[in-house]
Structure 1
């Protein structure tokens, strides 16, 4: 798992290599959004596509995943101002 700036995605997973990338902008989001993305990408290690099995696994590991996805999707991906 590694972190990098990404313009259009919160995270990505390569199931073949097991590599998971997380967007640095997740640091500016609520912690539960980071949890959602980590679980989402880890589930891709078990199920590469967004099918019914994927949704079932998400519900097993993170029952409130749909609400967290909605919350995250309302937020901008990029956060240009990194001042605290």
Structure 2
């Protein structure tokens, strides 16, 4: 057993368990407030680090696919506000919407309402958390100036989530060639 060196105070605990009987497979599961990652004993520290990241992302994607409802989304927003914004951002409503196809989220500070695009469903948990935090920060700071970005600096996966979303947007803009592939198979 070893503690994951990637852990920080703001991330959930990760426990890596090595097994001599485990030859090739890696698995992970949640155990209370920690994540347990099972790996082969022969694995190097670099391989361990890589596989812990892969498995954390897989678990997050599986959990976010469970389709959080509006109530769970509101609870999540409250936890994120408490953890990263000192509880200062208090939305009156947080909900999924299907009419946002060019934005990931939106916020109306005067009403205290936050809306997240349905397109986020099924994305990794840290991405949804980032978008929620982004909109929560708008309850405190209206624009995208330096004060706004200082608030988001507290979230350790801001850059990673932004990169993920940029990749999704870029992939959507790529020409899709399924017809060309079908023709090649004939």
In which range does the TM-score fall when normalised by the shorter chain?
A: 0.7 to 0.9
How far is 1:73 from its partner?
A: 1.5
Farther-moved stretch of structure 1 (7-16 vs 64-73): 64-73
Q: Normalization by structure 1: what TM-score?
A: 0.82
Which residue number corresponds to residue 149 of structure 2? 55
Larger RCO (alpha carbons 8 Å, 6+ apart) = 1
Partner Cα distance (1:59, 1:47) in 2: 14
Matched, 1:45 2:139: yes
Partner Cα distance (2:167, 2:129) in 1: 16
**Contact persistence 2:107–2:139 (CA under 8 A):** yes
Tell me which of 120, 128, 138 is aligned to 1:26: 120
Is there any run of 5+ residues in structure 2 with no aligned partner, and where?
A: 1-93, 173-186
- More strand per residue: 2
Q: CA RMSD in A?
A: 1.5
Partner Cα distance (1:8, 1:50) in 2: 18
Q: Which has the larger radius of gyration?
A: 2
Which residue number corresponds to residue 130 of structure 2? 36
Which residue number corresponds to residue 7 of structure 1? 101
Q: Normalization by structure 2: what TM-score?
A: 0.39
Which residue number corresponds to residue 158 of structure 2? 65
Count residues in correspondence.
76
Partner Cα distance (2:127, 2:157) in 1: 11
Partner Cα distance (1:55, 1:63) in 2: 13
How far is 1:64 from its partner?
A: 2.5
